[in-house]
Structure 1
Amino acid sequence: MGMRVGYARVSSLGQKLDVQLDKLSDCDRIYHEKASAGSKKIRMELQKVLDFVREEDVFVVTKLDRLARSMVDLSIIVQRLEEKNVDLVVLDQGIDTTTIYGRLQFNILASIGEFERGLIRERSREGREKAISRGVQFGAKSKLKKEEVCQLVRDFEAPGCSKVEIAEHYGLSRSSVYRFHKEHCNDLC
């Protein structure tokens, strides 16, 4: 049988870990941190515990919101645990994937998370297609106007003209000079 490994998190410096640590007291090892779940900052202790757990270990948290930012985030964490054959126990919500009923309950939650990810991807694709149909251009805007691109192509093809000097003149990298030439050498300038 593996270890019981606990994880506790509070989101601000003013909050205390005491209640969570008491509930996790039967764990063989506990990781804890003070980090907001919604922040872009990486939760280092969570990464450490996910790296640490091994096959047949049980990963224990007090509540799902102490573990994940969203259903999508939870789904990613659970996938990592499943790949390592590690069970998950969420004490306050009665989720225990060491039992058949706990796995069923959790698989339902994971399915909802997967559905949510699919909806997000679909909405993003539809929004992008709609924007393109309205003429929205994605990506960085060109640093050069059409006349400058035409002049760059002529300079590029002029004998004895240094590509480095062209790049410096237009404020581009050498690779950009070559790319502009390749993309526009057949344009009627």
Structure 2
Amino acid sequence: MGMRVGYARVSSSGQKLDLQMDRLSDCDRIYHEKASAASAKGRPELQKALDFVRDEDVFVVTKLDRLARSVVDLAGIVQKLEIKKVDLVVLDQGIDTTTMYGRLQFNILAAIGEFERELIKERSMEGRIKAIARGVKFGAKPKLTKQEIADLIRDFEEPGCSKTEISEHYGISRSSVYRLYAENRS
């Protein structure tokens, strides 16, 4: 049997960890922090805990909202736990993936999360298509004007003109010099 690893978090410095720490007292190791980050990336102690757990450990939190700030964030954390073969226990919601019923309950939550991610992706794509139809340009704005590109092509074709000097003059990389020349020569 592995270790029970707890994680506690409060959002602001005015809040106290005491209640969560008491509830996690049966854990072999507890990670805790004061962080209100929207994703796991902004919570270093959570990252340390997720890196620490291993096969047959049980990861314990008091509430899901202490672990994840969104369904997408939760799905990423759960995926890490599944890859490492670590079970999850959420005390207040009664989720316990060490049991058959807990796994069922959690898989239902995960399926809902996956459905929500697909909806978000679909809506984003629809919005992107509509924006393109309205003429919105995506991606980085071109660094050079049409006149500067014409001048670059002229410089490129000038015998003895260094491509490095051209790139430095226009403030772009050498590979961009070659790409712009290939795309715009006529």
User: Normalising by the residue count of structure 1, what TM-score does the alignment of the two structures yield?
Assistant: 0.92
Query: 1:6 matched to which residue of 2?
Result: 6
CA RMSD of aligned residues (A): 1.6
Identity over aligned pairs, percent:
78
Q: Does the C-alpha gap of structure 1 residues 47 and 40 become closer, same or farther in structure 2, counting only changes over 3 Å?
A: closer
- 1:172: Cα distance to partner? 2.6
Residue 152 of structure 1 aligns to which amino acid in structure 2?
Answer: L
Cα pair 1:55 1:85 within 8 Å, conserved = yes
Q: Decide whether aligned partners of structure 1 residues 154 and 40 sit closer, same or farther in structure 2, where only a CA change above 3 A counts.
A: farther
For residue 127 of structure 1, what is the aligned residue in structure 2?
127
| CA–CA distance in structure 1, aligned partners of residues 83 and 173 of structure 2 | 44
* Aligned residue type for 2:72: V
Q: Which amino acid aligns with 2:116?
A: E
TM-superposed CA distance for 1:4, in Å, is: 1.0
Shift of 1:28: 1.1
Deviation at 1:53, TM superposition (A): 1.0
Moved over 6 A (4+): none
Letter in structure 1 aligned against 2:136: V
Unaligned 5+ runs, structure 2: none
- 3-state secondary structure, aligned to 2:42: coil
Equivalent residue number for residue 28 of structure 1 = 28
**Could you tell me which residue of structure 2 aligns to residue 111 of structure 1?**
111
For 1:99, the equivalent position in structure 2 comes to 99
> CA shift at 1:38, angstroms?
2.3
Which consecutive unaligned segments of at least 5 residues does structure 1 have?
A: none
User: What is the TM-score when the length of structure 2 is the normalising length?
Assistant: 0.93
The separation in 2 between residues aligned to 1:56 and 1:40, in whole angstroms, is 22
**Are the equivalent residues in 1 in contact too, given 2:56–2:86 (CA < 8 A)?**
yes
Partner of 1:81: 81
Q: Which residue of 2 is the match for residue 147 of structure 1?
A: 147
Q: Is the 8 A contact 1:37 1:68 kept in 2?
A: no
DSSP-derived class of the 1:22 partner: helix
Q: CA deviation at 1:40?
A: 8.1
Deviates more, 1:164-173 or 1:55-64: 164-173
Return the offset for 1:39. 6.6
Deviation per residue, 1:69-114 (Å, 9 max, x gap): 1111111111111111111111111111111111111111111111
Structural mapping, 1:42-61, within 5 Å: 42-61=42-61
User: How far apart are the structure 2 equivalents of 1:24 and 1:146?
Assistant: 63
Tell me, in whole angstroms, the C-alpha distance in 2 between the residues paired with 1:108 and 1:126.
Answer: 27
Q: Distance in 2 between matches of 1:139 and 1:40?
A: 27
Q: How many residues align?
A: 186
CA distance in 2 between partners of 1:22 and 1:16 (Å): 11
| Residues 180 and 40 of structure 1: CA distance in aligned 2, closer, same or farther (over 3 Å) | farther
